Structure 1
Amino acid sequence: MSSQVLGGIAIVDKPAGMTSHDVVSTLRRYFGTRKVGHAGTLDPMATGVLVAGINRGTKFLAHLTKADKRYKGTIRLGSATTTDDREGEIISQAKPAAIAAIEDERILQGVADLSGDIMQRPTAVSAIKINGKRAHERVREGEDVVIPARPVRIDSFKVHEIRRGEGFIDLDVDVACSSGTYIRALARDLGEALGVGGHLTALRRTAVGSFSIEQATELALLEEEPKFMSLDEALPLCFPVLEVTTQEAADLAMGKWLEPRGLKGTFAAVDPEGRAVALVKEQGKRLATVFVARPSTL
Structure 2
Amino acid sequence: MAESGILLVDKPQGVTSHDIVARARRARGTRKVGHAGTLDPMATGLLLVGVEGATRLLTYLVGLGKTYEATIRLGQATTTDDADGDVSRSAAAADVAAVTLERIADEVARLTGAISQVPSAVSAIKVDGRRAYDRVRAGEDVQLAARDVVVSRFDVLARRDAAGVIDLDVIVDCSSGTYIRALARDLGDRLGVGGHLTRLRRTAVGPFSVDDAAGADALEDAGLAGPADVAGRVLGRLAVPQEIARDLRHGKRVAAPEAFSGLRAAIDEEGVLVGIVERRGREMKSVMNMPEVTA
1:60 aligns with 2:57: yes
Residue pair 1:81, 1:92 contacting (<8 A) in 2 also: yes
Of the three residues 198, 201, 204, the one matched with 2:201 is 204
The code of the aligned residue for 1:157 comes to F
Q: Distance in 2 between matches of 1:53 and 1:135?
A: 26
What is the deviation of 1:286? Answer: 3.4
C-alpha RMSD of matched pairs (Å): 1.5
- Closer/same/farther in 2, CA of residues 93 and 255 from structure 1, 3 Å limit: same
Q: What's 2:287 paired with?
A: 290
What is the deviation of 1:273? Answer: 2.0
SS at match of 1:123: coil
Q: What's 1:132 paired with?
A: 129
Q: What's 2:238 paired with?
A: 242
Q: 4+ residue stretches of structure 1 with deviation over 6 A?
A: none
Of the three residues 35, 40, 54, the one matched with 2:37 is 40
Q: What's 1:146 paired with?
A: 143
Q: What's 2:67 paired with?
A: 70
If the length of structure 2 is used for normalisation, what is the TM-score?
0.96
1:17 aligns with 2:8: no
SS at match of 1:229: coil
- Aligned-pair identity (%): 50
Q: Distance in 2 between matches of 1:149 and 1:243?
A: 42
Residue pair 1:31, 1:226 contacting (<8 A) in 2 also: no
Structure 1 unaligned residues grouped into runs of 5+: none
Q: What's 1:87 paired with?
A: 84
Q: Distance in 2 between matches of 1:226 and 1:173?
A: 30
Q: What's 2:254 paired with?
A: 258
SS at match of 2:30: coil
**Range 180-189 or range 227-236, more displaced:** 227-236
Deviation string 1:97-120 (CA, Å, 9 cap, x unpaired) is 100011110001111100000000
Deviation string 1:214-235 (CA, Å, 9 cap, x unpaired) is 1111111124x14321212211
If the length of structure 1 is used for normalisation, what is the TM-score?
0.95
1:229 aligns with 2:219: no
Q: Distance in 1 between matches of 2:161 and 2:109?
A: 20
Q: Distance in 2 between matches of 1:293 and 1:215?
A: 25
Structure 2 unaligned residues grouped into runs of 5+: none
Q: Distance in 2 between matches of 1:123 and 1:297?
A: 46
- Closer/same/farther in 2, CA of residues 51 and 296 from structure 1, 3 Å limit: closer
Residue pair 2:214, 2:222 contacting (<8 A) in 1 also: no
Residue pair 1:259, 1:287 contacting (<8 A) in 2 also: yes
Q: Distance in 1 between matches of 2:80 and 2:124?
A: 12
Q: Distance in 1 between matches of 2:286 and 2:81?
A: 41
The code of the aligned residue for 2:244 comes to E
